[in-house]
Amino acid sequence: MNEIKQKLQQIKARIRKAAEKSNRNPESIRLVAVSKTVPAKIIRQAIEAGVTILGESYIQEARTKISAVSLPSASISWHFIGHLQTNKARDAVRLFDLIHSVDSFKLAAALNREAEKIHKIQPVLIQVNIAAEASKSGIATQAAQNLIADISTLRSVKVNGLMTMPPYFNNPAKARPYFDELRLLRDQLQKNMNAELTPNLSLHELSMGMSGDFETAIAAGATLVRIGTAIFGERN
Ligand SMILES: *Cc1c(COP(=O)(O)O)cnc(C)c1O
């Protein structure tokens, strides 16, 4: 068994254990293997070992790698998790099944225009800057509801949930309040929005948790965990 396969099995076992510990169905948590900076050859090993969702942060890099990996792509889903510039919207809708990092109406409108051109409904998540860190992207917590209401008027973009990156802590337990806050925000938004004009909105996805804190995120309700280092090793 190669190293990637071994690491992947360990991660999957940890996801299962964390789910069971908080009485959640392990099937309700999906692993996004974050493959930024990882060469196509290693990505192929991960796919052979059972990875079904890959996460990339840079459009240029993803474009080259997605065509290089070129395995029976029907079974592989590519997610965009990095900061997305409006001028990359065209590539983003062509390459990615889910975009985790929408944080402005301008970006959503650009994605909508490009998705319309290829007759696609583009699923997205809203990135929320829960800790209001100046260094991080994401919409402010208080502004999330208006943003989602505005995006809900766009016909070719569909909001499926929320994403966040808490501040970095050595002790993952310290990230717990931020994960809880994202879940509570989701519950509140779901309730408010469905009571208003958007009965069809379903914010079922919570994208939170990385190599250092995914078990904490699962305890708080994560449905998508984004794990790079713990599968592929340290990035340069
Ligand atoms: C790189 C990255 C990850 C993966 O981080 P690891 O600590 O390597 O697991 C997750 N989410 C986002 C948004 C990232 O940019």
Which residue's alpha carbon is nearest to atom 15 within ligand 1?
82
What sign has the CA pseudo-torsion 221, 80, 120, 104?
A: positive
- Give me ligand 1 centre to Cα 99, in Å: 14
Which residue's alpha carbon is nearest to atom 10 within ligand 1?
226
Residue 74: predicted pLDDT: 55
Residue 219: predicted pLDDT: 98
- Give me ligand 1 centre to Cα 207, in Å: 11
- Give me ligand 1 centre to Cα 169, in Å: 14
| Residue pLDDT, tens place only, 73-99 | 558 999 999 999 999 999 999 999 999
Compute the average pLDDT of residues 98-124.
98
Could you tell me the pTM of the whole model? 0.97
Closest CA to 44 of 22, 70, 18, 81: 70
Which residue's alpha carbon is nearest to atom 4 within ligand 1?
228
DSSP, collapsed to helix, strand or coil, labels residue 232 as helix
Q: Which domains does the chain have, with CATH numbers?
A: 3-232 (3.20.20.10)
Residue 200: predicted pLDDT: 76
Q: What is the mean pLDDT of the chain?
A: 95
- Give me ligand 1 centre to Cα 209, in Å: 9
Q: 40-48 and 3-21 are packed helices; what angle lies between their axes, rounded to 10 degrees?
A: 50
Residues in the chain: 236
Ligand 1: residues within 6 Å at CB?
A: 34, 36, 57, 81-82, 165, 210-212, 226-230
Atom of ligand 1 nearest to the CA of 34: 4
DSSP E strand stretches across 47-102: 53-56, 77-80, 98-102
Atom of ligand 1 nearest to the CA of 235: 8
Which residue's alpha carbon is nearest to atom 13 within ligand 1?
81
Which residue's alpha carbon is nearest to atom 6 within ligand 1?
228
| Residue pLDDT, tens place only, 21-44 | 999 999 999 999 999 999 999 999
Compute the average pLDDT of residues 223-236.
95
